[in-house]
Structure 1
Amino acid sequence: MAKRWKVRPDHANWGDFGEDDQVGRLNLITPERRRLAAQEVKEGIAFCLSLPLDLPGGNLLVPLRLPPTRHVAPRKCGHHFVNFPMRLENECWTDFSCDDAVTIYTQYSTQWDALSHVGQAFDADQDGEAELVYYNGYRGGVDILGPEQAGGPGAVHLGIEKMAETCVQGRGVMVDAFARYGAERKFIGYDDLMRIMDEDGVEVEEGDMFCLHTGWTHAVAARQGNPDVALLHHAYSVLDGSDEKLLQWIEDSGISVLIADNFAVEGFQQQGRGGEGSFPALPIHRRCLVELGIHLGELWHLTPLNDWLRAHKRSRFLLTAPPLRLPGSFGSPATPVATV
């Protein structure tokens, strides 16, 4: 079939959008789908769905990811580029300028996972040896490069800029898990999700951008940069990646992206909820990013929007959420905007 692989994983859609596709199910957000999304704008009210990008604060969530660090340009004529004098008139400085730079971990706060974020060992060549493959059969070491390789580190293919080029605008659909489970650490499976959607009258159609509200990010923001381990890792709802029915629903639903206001969308598990062993650490990441080309949005600030939608008995809205057009990056901060 495609040049990069002879067989694809059982649940993969590799090749369905073309053998060189790099945006996956974002292909389902067609011009017609955008027109339908625009019809959800009835009040003209906009919501910012991003945390301040220095939250959650510290590095208890992921030790290797650190808050942004701000820098200013070196001195020029004795001045840093903060309140820097730009124009002299009648021997008085009348105009000033500020300029800065930021070192930022792309997945520290509100963010998108690129399709190059997660790969899988799979025998795509049918030669008896598993290769490191990413969505649509792109290869680790060839298309995804480490710092020790020429041109690396970065994604030659599947970089976050490919997502940005689609503009990422369509119809968002909100599912409110917090209203059912509050701050309880709940692994949400297929039956739980269908119950919530049925009770709230939530419908999901092909191309929709699925958003799960758990309340986690709202609680993190309230800590003002000082969260603890109990909140970060042991509270609020997460999707249950061990539930095969849930994985199958994600595949069959036609959603274009999967977004949550928690860390990682799904909960980390050493084994399945039923006790089975040999279990992937992040099966939803594997199914979405590697097999289906569904980008994941994490740590979004959904509570204000969710509360408004719930008060007005709505679940749909226009969502505009492009990442940074940063070539080769494995993820990106985001400042999504919802309009109702």
Structure 2
Amino acid sequence: MTKRWKNRPEGSTWGDFGEDDQTGRLALLTPERVRRAAAEIHDGRSWCLSLPLDFPGGNKLNERRHPPRLFATVTAKGQPWFNQPLNVNGPDFTDVVSDDAVLLHCQYSTQWDALAHVGGLFDADGDGEPERVYYNGWRAEEHIFAPANTHGHDCSDFEGSHADRLGIENMAATGVQGRGVMIDLRHHLGDARTYVGYDDLMRVMEADGAEVEEGDMVCFHTGWAQRVLEMDRDPSVEILHDACAVLDGRDAKLLNWVTDSGAAVLIADNYAVEGHPSRPGEGKHAVLPLHEHCLFKLGVHLGELWHLTPLAAHLRAAGRTRFFLTAPPLRLPGAVGSPLTPVATT
């Protein structure tokens, strides 16, 4: 057999888009659907859906993830190349040049999760023993590599991690353009922490006339990123822990809706799209059930910490829920996530 697996998870799309598929349901963003999405442009306004990439601020929300660090590039003589005149090449040159570099945690701020971000322990070989596998049966340590070091004091001590398969560059190569659909949870549910299951979601969508069709990019507006922005790089863990709506990844009906909807991607302006921690599960189960369902089983990328509030307000005032969305990640080979600056056009 040439397949990497004999068993696939129940309800998964492994193999449906090809034996070697690495982009999952992004295949549903067909040229015809992109052309149709362009018809959602009415007034030609563009909306930046990214937070500044140094938000949320600090690392209180996740101790592993830190704000970007900017550096001047350095000459061979050890001098910073910032505000440097180029008249070193002769008195007739008038250029002044600055040049910099950045240490950027890929999933610190507005981000995409690559399909290599979350896998699962699953008996893909059919031998009764679970393996560490990712979407479409790609394997830990065979296709997605951990760093060689196991101890260190800084992320630079752990170079060598690399997703040879399912890296974010595969998503970037598709262009990630299509029709966005806004589901305005905040308008209907307010700013308190609410676990949103299928029934709540259907009520919100019906109230706003929001419809999701195959290949749509679904955005869930909760207001969480707006709260983060207002905290000005000093986020309150206590306040944010109890703030705003989250999808209930333990709701089987909601997971079935994700499957049946044909959504190409799911996006939210909160920290994980779903509630984290999730509601208690039974037996052996995923800590992040929506991540497991989307990234591991379906090949549905997840967007997190997008800034959706201004766009949601505009769409509500206009009586619309749909827009044109362009949202490629950085084309960074081997990364399991990426910052981005998505643009909506209305």
Counterpart pick for 1:243 among 251, 254, 258: 251
Deviation of residue 90 (structure 1)? 8.5
Aligned position for 1:72: 72
Structure 1 residue matching 2:178: 3-state secondary structure: strand
Aligned residues of 1:88 and 1:95 also touching (Cα < 8 A): no
Q: Identify which range, 152-161 or 87-96, moves more after superposition.
A: 87-96
Structure 1 residue matching 2:94: 3-state secondary structure: strand
Deviation of residue 278 (structure 1)? 4.3
Aligned position for 1:31: 31
Please say if 1:231 is aligned against 2:239.
yes
1:2/1:217 CA distance change after superposition, 3 Å: farther
Quote the Cα distance in structure 1 between the aligned partners of 2:230 and 2:3.
50
Deviation of residue 87 (structure 1)? 3.7
Deviation of residue 269 (structure 1)? 3.3
Deviation of residue 232 (structure 1)? 2.9
Aligned residues of 1:271 and 1:277 also touching (Cα < 8 A): no
Quote the Cα distance in structure 2 between the aligned partners of 1:226 and 1:277.
38
Number of aligned positions between the proteins: 337
Aligned position for 2:200: 192
Aligned letter for 1:215?
G
5+ residue gaps, structure 1:
none
Counterpart pick for 1:302 among 302, 305, 308: 308
5+ residue gaps, structure 2:
150-158
Deviation of residue 89 (structure 1)? 9.4
Aligned position for 1:338: 344
Quote the Cα distance in structure 2 between the aligned partners of 1:337 and 1:231.
29
Aligned residues of 1:61 and 1:233 also touching (Cα < 8 A): no
Aligned residues of 1:115 and 1:293 also touching (Cα < 8 A): yes
Structure 1 residue matching 2:297: 3-state secondary structure: helix
1:79/1:280 CA distance change after superposition, 3 Å: closer
1:76/1:153 CA distance change after superposition, 3 Å: closer
Aligned position for 1:132: 132
Runs of 4+ in 1 over 3 A off after TM superposition: 75-79, 87-93, 269-272, 275-279
Q: Kindly report the root-mean-square deviation, in angstroms, between the aligned alpha carbons of the 2 structures.
A: 1.8
Counterpart pick for 1:285 among 281, 291, 300: 291
Aligned residues of 1:220 and 1:231 also touching (Cα < 8 A): no
Quote the Cα distance in structure 1 between the aligned partners of 2:77 and 2:164.
41
1:100/1:276 CA distance change after superposition, 3 Å: same
Aligned position for 2:174: 166
Aligned position for 1:116: 116
Aligned position for 2:152: none
Quote the Cα distance in structure 2 between the aligned partners of 1:328 and 1:90.
43
User: CA-to-partner distance for each residue in 1:257-283, whole Å, 9 max, x for gaps?
Assistant: 0000000000123643xx746442100
Q: Identify which range, 297-306 or 227-236, moves more after superposition.
A: 227-236
Identity %: 58
User: CA-to-partner distance for each residue in 1:216-274, whole Å, 9 max, x for gaps?
Assistant: 001100111011112332211100011000000001100000000000000123643xx
Aligned ranges 1:43-54 → 2 under 5 Å: 43-54=43-54
TM-score, normalisation: structure 2: 0.94
Quote the Cα distance in structure 1 between the aligned partners of 2:5 and 2:90.
71
